[in-house]
Amino acid sequence: MHKNHETENSLHELFGSNVFSDAVMKERLPKPTYNALKKTINEGLDLDPSVADVVAIAMMDWALEKGATHFTHWFQPMTGITAEKHDAFISPTAEGKALMEFSGKELIKGEPDASSFPSGGLRATFEARGYTAWDCTSPAFVKDGSLCIPTAFCSYTGEALDKKTPLLSSMEAISRQALRVLRLFGNTTANKVITTVGPEQEYFLIDKRMYDRRKDLIFTGRTLFGAKPPKGQELEDHYFGTLKERVSAFMKELDEELWRLGVAAKTKHNEVAPAQHELAPLFATANIATDHNQLTMELMKKIALRHGLVCLLHEKPFAGVNGSGKHVNWSMMTNDGQNLLEPGRTPHENAQFLVFLCAVIRGVDEYADLLRSTAATAGNDHRLGASEAPPAIISIFLGGQLTEILEQIATGCPACSSQGGVLKIGVTTLPDLPKDSTDRNRTSPLAFTGNKFEFRMVGSSASIAAAAFSLNAITAEILSQMADRLEKSTSFETDVQKILQEIARNHGRIIFNGNNYSDAWVAEAEKRGLPNIRSTVDAIPAIIAERNLLLFEKQGILSRHEMQSRYEINLENYIKTINIEALTMLDMAKRQILPAVIKFAALLADSINAVKKTGVNADTSAQEDLLKEISTVMASFKRHVSALEKIVRQAPSRNGNSYKQASFYRDEVLVEMGDLRKDGDKLETLVDEEFWPMPTYEDLLFNI
């Protein structure tokens, strides 16, 4: 019993110990300063410079006690990872000594060089000035001897150059529009609506010694060659299986490091594929959840190395086994604790719940292409639709109970639901909808799971920001249209009923509760008119579709110019990714695989000749057949090497049409890479393993 108390106290002291949390602020800041800062955080007001100076000094003193010597504005540029420039607290004096200094100005604003980050044409190379601005709603923390201050990142002329800025703007937009709707339902206590997110993170762990011998993993994050091993995930014996000792030790250290940074890592387990695992945190406000997920990915990689492991976050590091995704669980909460996607127990609550639910349904249907674009990367193209992840068709799983309710709303049927309750909004109650009133549907891209939506399409290496701010934006837009209409209403209850009925009738096509992996669904989705956007190259143009430009402009999230830059950045990233993969593949083919195969073929030929020279009437037909097969495949392999080299040289100039260039890489380069891989993988099965120049799938997946 005593030991349990010690563990509890230890965990209590550990969690958030490296975070300048609300509790720390309350303890260290003068009460007027604390109240002013909280007002800024809660209401989005500008922080008075004098208040910022007091906060900065308290923050520095706290960080110094934690062993920090530097501070950095920690931001999330369009590279998909985080960036940080570290400055020491030290300020030399005339007497040759040093003072520890950190001002409110330094806290609020930084100036990193913006020229070396992706800008999609927003900034010229010589236009270097950029700014970071403190996101005071996300707490600062100490990491690796530096005080890290979460910030937004923008150009000298004010355009967003990061993933945090539009997320923060979208959070303001959805709060603004949701409050309008809540006021109409009589809620006068809530003064803010926040979106909460809980991203489940999948990843692979492999032995570092094996990783170091795979150029493809080092340069691209995925295996470009690799024959299928005798065993994969067929026996379903890895999922939720007992953790191996090295993996368990890694997970324990990861949990503790995350807890110190206030990341509420909750669940850990083996995933379906061999060597695959998952970590799931508790929900947090969308921007904090985004920060925490970036920290999680960073720490996964760093801590794995301490255990002689490498963490792979690529969406499909191994062909033939499941890839890794990131399930973004998204919901809406009022600041007084009401989940707006939680069905209520009164007619009033039921109607409010259905309004917010239907806002999401309509938004997802109308902006399906935009939502699809948030999961569009070169890596994720290998995963989506591969009988392990949702297909490229956006649909919503609601479960039988809610689907039936919407169908009744659509038809205006006054009859009782088969599951109980007369359906007349605002007069009687809905059927009781407990959190687990429906089964889960793991094949659905967007599943309603009781009081939240689970968006399952996002890739494991991606930031969750784009998915979160797009869900925020489309919901805010539909809520604003609802509010515009209801604010003019003379019969609120009647008009709520009409709005819900229109949405149920016009957007019910997006609801599908069946098997999203089936061919029948692909055909059915086409009949319904749902877009099937199969590749990243096809998905990216949604970013600059007129309807989506108007959405982000109207909600004050991104300008046309900023959206155009993101379109260019995403295309450029796709092009560069495939180009690096092609060059890596050629290097491995020419400098590793071909020499190894030639060496083995020569040895085989020598053995055949040696037998024949003995004069013994021995049968060498088996060796000769093997040599012939190897020679045939090797010749084909060499032809595909030459073909891939030629195609890469023919790629359109980067100074030309970026969409045309990306299409070329998808339609020409990737196809030839696939042909080259087929021959390479065949050669792996023919060549003696002692001669094969790199670890195989068997070595990589089953060697921890």
Full DSSP string of 139-173: --EEETTEEEEEEEEEETTS-B-BSHHHHHHHHHH
Q: How far apart are CA 261 and CA 254, in angstroms?
A: 11
* Range 471-481 average pLDDT: 98
The count of residues in the chain is 704
pLDDT, tens only, 477-517? 999 999 999 999 999 988 999 999 999 999 999 999 998 88
Instruction: Quote the Cα angle for 89-258-172, to 5°.
Output: 80
pLDDT, tens only, 158-187? 788 889 999 999 999 999 999 999 999 999
> For residue 552, what are the CA distances in angstroms to 260, 469, 555, 612, 617?
36, 10, 5, 77, 81
More confident residue, 349 or 487: 487
Q: How far apart are CA 355 and CA 603, in angstroms?
A: 74
655 pLDDT tier (thresholds 50, 70, 90): low
In this predicted structure, the answer to whether residue 437 has a pLDDT above a threshold of 60 is: no
> For residue 192, what are the CA distances in angstroms to 48, 127, 363, 442?
22, 38, 21, 32
Place of tokens 């297909």: 391
pLDDT at residue 441 in the model: 66
pLDDT, tens only, 87-144? 899 887 767 666 778 888 989 888 776 667 776 666 655 555 678 889 999 999 999 9
Q: How far apart are CA 530 and CA 522, in angstroms?
A: 9
pLDDT at residue 618 in the model: 79
Cβ 290 vs Cβ 467: under 8 Å: no
More confident residue, 399 or 307: 307
Domains, the chain, ordered by start: 13-162 (3.10.20.70), 170-558 (3.30.590.10), 573-701 (1.20.120.1560)
As given in the structure block, the two tokens for residue 568 are 């260019």
As given in the structure block, the two tokens for residue 63 are 């960080």
Q: How far apart are CA 390 and CA 445, in angstroms?
A: 5
Instruction: Quote the Cα angle for 286-288-290, to 5°.
Output: 70
